[in-house]
């Protein structure tokens, strides 16, 4: 039997960095939403007690460095599963881009393995496994627009963000999230109003949502990688309602309610960067 799971990319409508925790992580407050750019995972049980990862991208690791491999290993060990599994990952989400590609693949693998092996696991149990792999995994297990707190483990679903078009632009560089957080100085960051953003999403108030959006980490990433600001400026010049970096970058996204404007922004960025996507928000 084959199990197929879709693994959608995420964007940060809001990201605020709060105080540093005793465990070394930063306390975060965020609003995330998923978009219709997704990887695809196909899972099947194999008789031999091993984990086999296959992918369409030659540069991706298929061993213990892979998030999906880690999730499978933890789940098998924790619940005494002696059967093996083959997981084929078709990657469409850019890597190291702030779009949660590795985390959403991990979440999809956990959902798929629960179905494959008919496991009666609660969301709390899945989140516990996911947090061992990455702090964005808990959100990705839910997938709907949500408020996130703690270091990523506290997820409160809101309601789907107002429907709109999303233009994603990934410049030809990678950003290390760990290195960005090492340079966080709280008094030098812009702190978006995450409570107002959450309220706007709940009220389905698109203009209020746009006004409240923001990402604290732009203050660190943009000086290091000026192209992020150049992409934002170009998006706004061609009619985006808002343009914002997602995660620690370098991917920038724009939102447009009108398809004609979204198409114009998309066309304006296609020649500027290689990886440009025009997608919808997910209901």
- Is 254 marked as binding a ligand? no
- Is 207 marked as binding a ligand? no
- Is 14 marked as binding a ligand? no
Nearest to 69 by CA among 47, 46, 85: 85
Catalytic residue numbers read: 10, 136
- Is 143 marked as binding a ligand? no
Q: Checking DSSP bridges between strand 165-170 and strand 275-280, what pairing results, if any? A: antiparallel
Q: What is the DSSP secondary-structure string of the chain? A: -EEEEEEEEEEEEEEEEEEEPTTSPEEEEEEEEEEEEEEEEEEEEESSS-EEEEES-TTS--STTSHHHHHHHHHHHHTT--SEEEEEEE--SPSSSSS-HHHHHHHHHHHHHHHHTT----HHHHHHHHHHH-TTHHHHHH-SSEEEEETTTEEEE--PPPP-EEEEEE-S----HHHHHHT--GGGS----HHHHHHHHHTT-HHHHHHH-EETTHHHHHHH-THHHHHHHHHHHTT-SEEEE-TTSS-EEEEESSHHHHHHHHHHHHTT-SEEEEEEB--
- Is 98 marked as binding a ligand? yes
- Is 134 marked as binding a ligand? no
- Is 22 marked as binding a ligand? no
Distance CA 269, CA 274 (A): 9
- Is 100 marked as binding a ligand? yes
What are the structure tokens assigned to 250, written together? 């370098």
- Is 104 marked as binding a ligand? yes
Residue that has been written with the tokens 């000026």 in this structure: 226
The binding site comprises: 94-104
The binding site for ATP comprises: 94-104
């Amino acid at each position: 039997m084959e199990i197929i799971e879709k693994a959608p990319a995420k964007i940060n409508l809001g990201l605020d960095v709060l105080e540093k925790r005793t465990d070394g992580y930063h306390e975060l407050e965020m609003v995330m939403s998923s978009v219709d750019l997704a990887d695809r995972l196909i899972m099947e049980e194999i008789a031999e007690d091993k984990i086999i990862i296959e992918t369409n991208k030659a540069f991706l690791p298929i061993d213990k460095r892979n998030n999906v491999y880690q999730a499978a290993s933890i789940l098998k060990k924790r619940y005494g599963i002696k059967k093996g599994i083959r997981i084929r990952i078709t990657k469409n989400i850019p890597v190291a881009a702030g779009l949660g590609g590795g985390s959403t693949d991990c979440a999809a693998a956990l959902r798929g393995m629960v179905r494959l092996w008919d496991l009666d696991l609660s969301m709390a149990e899945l989140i516990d496994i996911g947090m061992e792999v990455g702090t964005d995994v808990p959100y990705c297990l839910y997938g709907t627009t949500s408020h996130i707190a703690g270091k990523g483990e506290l997820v409160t679903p809101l309601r789907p963000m107002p429907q709109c078009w999303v233009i994603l632009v990934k410049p030809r560089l990678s950003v290390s999230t760990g290195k960005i957080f090492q340079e966080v100085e709280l008094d030098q960051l812009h702190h978006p109003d995450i409570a107002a953003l959450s309220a706007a999403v709940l009220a389905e108030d698109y203009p209020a949502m746009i006004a409240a959006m923001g990402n604290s980490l732009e203050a660190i990433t943009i000086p290091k990688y000026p192209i992020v600001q150049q992409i934002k400026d170009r998006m706004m010049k061609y009619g985006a309602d808002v343009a914002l970096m997602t995660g620690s970058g370098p991917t920038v996204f724009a939102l447009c309610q009108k398809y004609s404007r979204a198409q114009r922004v998309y066309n304006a960025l296609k020649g500027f960067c290689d990886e440009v996507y025009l997608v919808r928000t997910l209901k």
